[in-house]
Amino acid sequence: MTTESQRVEHKLAFTEQTVNMFCYYSIYVGSTIKRSNNSNVIGLHIEELKIKPNIKVNPSKYVIEGDRITFSCSVDISNSTTRIILVHGRTTLSSNMAQEEYSMSVKADDSGEYECISHLGEVDKSSTINITVKELFSMPVLSIHPAEVFEGERFNITCQIHSFASERIQRGDISYSILRDKTPVINSGIAGKASNGEYICIAKAKGIVKESRKVLIKAKVPVSKPEITVDGPVIVNKTFWILCNSENGSLPIIFSLKKNNTILNRAEVSSINKTARFSAMISTPSDISSYMCEAENNGQVSIKMSGRLDVTVIVSLAMWKKALIAVFCMLLVALLVLFIVMRYKAKRGKREMAAELSVKPASPKSDDSLTLSLTNDTHYSDHTVVVKNKESVWSERPPDVADQDSLGSTSEGDIEYTEVVHPQPVDPTRSKFSILKRCPSLFLFLLSLLLHFEEEHYDSSACMRRLEKNHFLGGI
């Protein structure tokens, strides 16, 4: 110890022993240290302070939960300055044990070490004792049956203990109560929103109250009817995605893709979006309606079935069919051009023929008549022409006198009346171009027939009925 004074004091703590004590000092002289001689030697005999407490417990250190025990702490040498405290773990139970005892009703968690500590000045002494507490009854256990309950299902709640101290109580001495959100309820009910909550069980006997662990009950929601849709276009003979989704239902949900009541694939959905994806392929457009979705989240009793898949199907034509359609298109264009050209020539021929037959008579008479039959080498029908002049339409020669006399001698009663029939002219283009006029409809029919071959089975009688419906068999 370093000091600048001529006196030093130092406090020491000793246990019970005998020691010899002396002292000396050292000083600096220049750069060296000079040590003094030792002082006189003093012998000390140190005795133990008799303040170690004695700890006792009554009636026994082996007790049953609910029993009452009493602790007492005392020292051999009575001193008014001595202070005694009782400690259990980190908890001070009493700080005045020198004057009074400490009494308590024990519980199961009161087992352990108890310590009495005495203080006198700066000296502390302690003594300990172990207490063993047996449970009066075990902690109650709350259970729900069934463990997972769906809305509308009945459930039961049980509260029970596994053991009890038969030397103190009987099983019938224990009372139970069940609380939901701190409100007493009965031990059964129908699951639903009203039954959801936090449940707890309380057991009581001889002043001992124990609570079970809290159990949260939330009724699960049955899965709703699934909806079946597709992701992207559906093309024949190409893979596409089918989506199955239920708007409501507790997770997890198991979705099954079915085709004509045959399960093709399954998927379990545990995420919030509740959507399952399946890949599929169809060979004909009619196959699309054979797909359905099945959803369940509580076994067979919860199965819900969607409607049949109903979406637009795109038919992808083969290359040879596309080429055939192109050929038909070019054939249609060629037929239309041919029809226009022939129509134009036919109308031009009619105008020329009409001009040739338009002839003016030289000197007509009302009582003269001439019947002339003309035959055109075209497809016009025969015509009977009555010319009110006995002179030929191809001659302008005046009539002879003999002819006039013979004509004049004819009496009115000898005149012969001829009925002239004028049949309607037949259009020469109709028979030639009737098929040409049907070309657009014929092309459209062939195109639809080609598309119809995309089906797996094509009915030949249906083809004949389609021909008759479009008047191709009877009108060509």
CATH number at residue 255: 2.60.40.10
- Examine residue 160 and state whether it is found in any structural domain, yes or no: yes
Whether residues 181 and 240 share a domain: the answer is no
Whether residues 244 and 274 share a domain: the answer is yes
Enclosing domain of residue 272 = 227-314
Distance of CA 394 to the CA centre of its chain: 97
- pLDDT tens for 27-71 read 888 888 888 888 899 988 887 788 889 999 999 999 999 999 999
- Examine residue 213 and state whether it is found in any structural domain, yes or no: yes
Neighbours of 141 (CB within 10 A): 15
User: Do 68 and 136 meet the contact criterion of CB atoms below 8 Å apart?
Assistant: no
Whether residues 203 and 234 share a domain: the answer is no
Mean pLDDT of 401-407: 41
- Domain edge (last residue) among 289, 314, 339: 314
Whether residues 376 and 424 share a domain: the answer is yes
Whether residues 476 and 370 share a domain: the answer is yes
Whether residues 398 and 380 share a domain: the answer is yes
Whether residues 235 and 205 share a domain: the answer is no
Domain count along the chain:
3
Share of the chain above pLDDT 70, in %: 72
Of 253, 266, 180, the residue nearest 218 (C-alpha): 180
- pLDDT tens for 125-146 read 999 999 999 999 999 999 999 9
- Examine residue 294 and state whether it is found in any structural domain, yes or no: yes
- Domain edge (last residue) among 284, 314, 344: 314
- Examine residue 438 and state whether it is found in any structural domain, yes or no: yes
- Examine residue 383 and state whether it is found in any structural domain, yes or no: yes
- pLDDT tens for 149-182 read 999 999 999 999 999 999 999 999 999 999 999 9
Q: Rounded distance, CA 329 to CA 458, Å?
A: 24
- pLDDT tens for 319-359 read 677 778 888 888 888 888 888 888 888 887 777 777 666 64
Whether residues 195 and 295 share a domain: the answer is no
